[in-house]
């Protein structure tokens, strides 16, 4: 083979290995999502661990290259990378039960998942570029030219792998198929380095890969925990009969959080206390206007609340902004939701509100927690001003907030922010309930005062209390809590206890 072809092959190997490494990095976030969700913390763990492994691999590869490593060693590394990639799915079946049982906080759990699953594949693939660059310089003495080209190919491969995985591969093929495909491609590349010179070693490494694949199959590692993997979520629908006191029901799980429970035959019955509370607040506020009211829902999820509105007020106008069309499809197919009389907008809730006419809605409902973390741009004063402009003069804004009763900093920050826009803002919790480590509160905001107590008029017999003053007197003083704006919204810091302690699990 001519030197030109050899250099081309080396460059192609560096490029493809970088593509595959970045695909593994993007897939890492989705693989751990059913266990720890998706947040700034999980992606920081993924990026940090993969870069750490890559850095170690680059350093070891450079030292190995100086000691004579060449094409044969690259072939071995690629075959080992193939085995390590398959082993990700095998190790997950061992690591996940251990971490879940240990009740580690979300930050620590995210780091341990990524470290245990993806550090070794990243380190192995990091060896490839410095070894092949060194060998290429022995062939073509233009060191600057070779180093620059190899670095450029590695960067281009990383870019392509990022876009391919994020925009296309995961949505169409799922994480397990992608990991297996990465392993196969790495094995093929490694085999091409060893086929002529080390067939026995190649056969041994093939057996190792097959053995790991077989063990993964036996352990169930090839079966995804997701019913569907969309661009945004790992989507599951589970039988919820044991979650509810009576009747048949199903629950929607997005990543690792239950997003709604729908009764099979009772669409108007709301099992979750906070969802029932939001409905009761709206009905109390609307009075006789409720039959033909107009609602805007920021977040669809299981469509539990929109479904209930259509059941008890068939003439109501319901607009839902659900960013993931796959979630809407699953709700219609498996969660007993009929969306034909709803106006569904598959876009970000803020963009959806900007697209509708002013003063159009009686009620705006915010239910946008993806996990324990809520999208910050849907909490700010600017967003609140936008949604108020879309409300009729006597309209109401209700939303749920997950926080820690002992120090509800995010809850108070949201109260302070909404209070800067609405004259009356109240915080609600179910009467007589122990709030526990974490709790889902409801905030209501409108132009008139609300009662101090509210009782359910339909569905489960519950009552709720206005606990605004109790919350404001708990923990950090309101004056020291930030007001959220588009320029400054430290949501992760305010909700850090949900991540740094075991409250978020």
pLDDT tens profile 176-222: 999 999 999 999 999 999 987 788 889 999 999 999 999 999 999 99
Upper half-sphere CA count for residue 28 (Cβ side, 13 Å) = 33
Element (H, E) at 469: helix 468-472
Q: Is 466 helix (H, G, I), strand (E, B) or coil?
A: strand
pLDDT digits (tens, 9 = 90+) for 2-52: 888 999 999 999 999 999 999 999 999 999 988 888 877 889 999 999 999
CA 268 to CA 239: how far, in whole Å?
A: 19
Residue 357 pLDDT level (bands cut at 50, 70, 90): confident
* pLDDT attached to residue 151: 95
User: Phi, psi (5° rounding) for residue 135?
Assistant: -65, -40
Neighbouring residues of 195: CB distance < 8 A, sequence distance ≥ 6: 202
Q: Which two tokens stand for residue 387?
A: 């949604």
SS3 labels along 239-281: ECCCCCCCCCEEEEEECCEEEEEEECCCCCCCCCHHHHHHHHH
Is the confidence at residue 363, as pLDDT, over 60? Answer: yes
* pLDDT attached to residue 502: 57
Neighbouring residues of 256: CB distance < 8 A, sequence distance ≥ 6: 33, 34, 35, 36, 37, 371
Is the confidence at residue 503, as pLDDT, over 60? Answer: no
pTM: 0.86
Is the confidence at residue 59, as pLDDT, over 90? Answer: yes
Domains of the chain with bracketed CATH? 3-225 (1.20.1250), 267-504 (3.40.50.150)
pLDDT digits (tens, 9 = 90+) for 133-175: 999 999 998 999 999 999 999 999 999 999 999 889 988 898 9
Q: Are 233 and 331 in contact (CB under 8 A)?
A: no
* pLDDT attached to residue 373: 67
Q: Is the dihedral of CA 58, 175, 33, 365 positive or negative?
A: positive
* pLDDT attached to residue 492: 83
- Give mean pLDDT, residues 431-435: 77
* pLDDT attached to residue 1: 67
* pLDDT attached to residue 290: 84
Q: Is 230 helix (H, G, I), strand (E, B) or coil?
A: coil
- Give mean pLDDT, residues 390-409: 92
Is the confidence at residue 505, as pLDDT, over 60? Answer: no
Is the confidence at residue 255, as pLDDT, over 80? Answer: yes
* pLDDT attached to residue 310: 95
Partner residues linked to 425 by β-bridges: 445
**Residue with the two structure tokens 């790992």:** 234
DSSP letter for 293, please.
-
Element (H, E) at 190: helix 175-194
How would you class 418 by CB atoms within 10 Å of its CB: exposed for 0-12, middle for 13-18, buried for 19 or more? buried
CA 352 to CA 77: how far, in whole Å?
A: 49
Beta sheet of 257-263, edge-to-edge order: 228-229, 234-239, 249-254, 257-263
CA 211 to CA 209: how far, in whole Å?
A: 5
* pLDDT attached to residue 371: 61
**What is the chain's length?**
505
Strand locations in 136-233 (E): 228-229
């Amino acid at each position: 083979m001519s030197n030109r072809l050899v250099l081309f092959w080396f460059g192609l190997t560096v490029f493809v290995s970088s593509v595959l490494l970045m695909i593994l990095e993007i897939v890492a976030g989705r693989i751990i999502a059913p266990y720890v969700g998706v947040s700034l913390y999980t992606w920081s763990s993924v990026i940090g661990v993969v870069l750490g492994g890559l850095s170690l691999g680059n350093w070891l590869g450079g030292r190995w290259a100086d000691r004579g490593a060449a094409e044969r060693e690259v072939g071995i590394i690629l075959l080992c990378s193939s085995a390590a990639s398959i082993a990700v799915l095998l190790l997950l079946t061992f690591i996940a039960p251990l971490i879940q049982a240990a009740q580690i906080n979300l930050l620590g759990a995210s780091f341990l998942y990524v470290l245990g699953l993806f550090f070794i594949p990243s380190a192995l693939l990091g060896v490839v570029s410095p070894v092949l660059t060194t060998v290429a310089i022995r062939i073509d003495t233009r060191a600057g030219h070779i180093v620059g080209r190899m670095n450029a190919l590695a960067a281009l491969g990383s870019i392509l792998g990022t876009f391919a995985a994020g925009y296309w591969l995961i949505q169409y093929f799922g994480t397990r198929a992608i990991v297996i495909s990465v392993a196969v491609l790495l094995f093929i590349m490694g085999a091409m380095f060893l086929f002529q010179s080390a067939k026995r070693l190649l056969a041994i490494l093939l057996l190792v890969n097959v053995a790991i694949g077989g063990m993964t199959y036996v352990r169930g590692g090839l079966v995804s925990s997701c019913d569907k993997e969309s661009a945004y979520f790992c989507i599951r629908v589970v039988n919820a009969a044991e979650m509810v006191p009576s009747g048949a029901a199903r629950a929607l799980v997005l990543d690792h959080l239950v997003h709604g429970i729908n009764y099979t035959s009772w669409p108007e019955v709301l099992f979750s206390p906070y969802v029932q509370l939001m409905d009761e607040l709206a009905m109390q506020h609307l009075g006789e206007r409720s039959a033909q009211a107009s609602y805007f829902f920021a977040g669809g999820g299981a469509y539990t609340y929109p479904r209930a509105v259509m059941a008890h007020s068939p003439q109501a106008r319901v607009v839902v902004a659900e960013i993931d069309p796959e979630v809407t499809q699953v709700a219609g197919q498996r969660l007993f939701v009929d969306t034909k009389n709803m106006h569904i907008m598959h876009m970000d809730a803020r963009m959806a509100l900007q697209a509708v006419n002013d003063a159009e809605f009686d009620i705006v409902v915010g239910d946008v927690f993806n996990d324990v973390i809520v999208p910050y741009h849907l909490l700010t004063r600017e967003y609140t001003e936008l949604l108020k402009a879309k409300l009729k003069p006597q309209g109401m804004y209700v939303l749920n907030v997950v926080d820690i009763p002992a120090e509800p900093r995010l809850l108070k920050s949201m109260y302070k922010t909404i209070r800067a826009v609405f004259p009356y803002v109240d915080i609600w919790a179910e009467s007589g309930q122990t709030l526990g480590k974490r709790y889902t509160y409801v905030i209501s905001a409108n132009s008139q005062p609300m009662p101090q107590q509210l009782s359910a008029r339909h569905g489960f017999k519950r009552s709720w209390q206005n606990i605004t003053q109790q919350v404001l007197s708990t923990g950090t003083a309101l004056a020291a809590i930030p007001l959220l704006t588009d320029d400054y919204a430290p949501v992760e810091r305010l909700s850090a206890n949900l991540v740094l302690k075991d409250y978020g699990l």
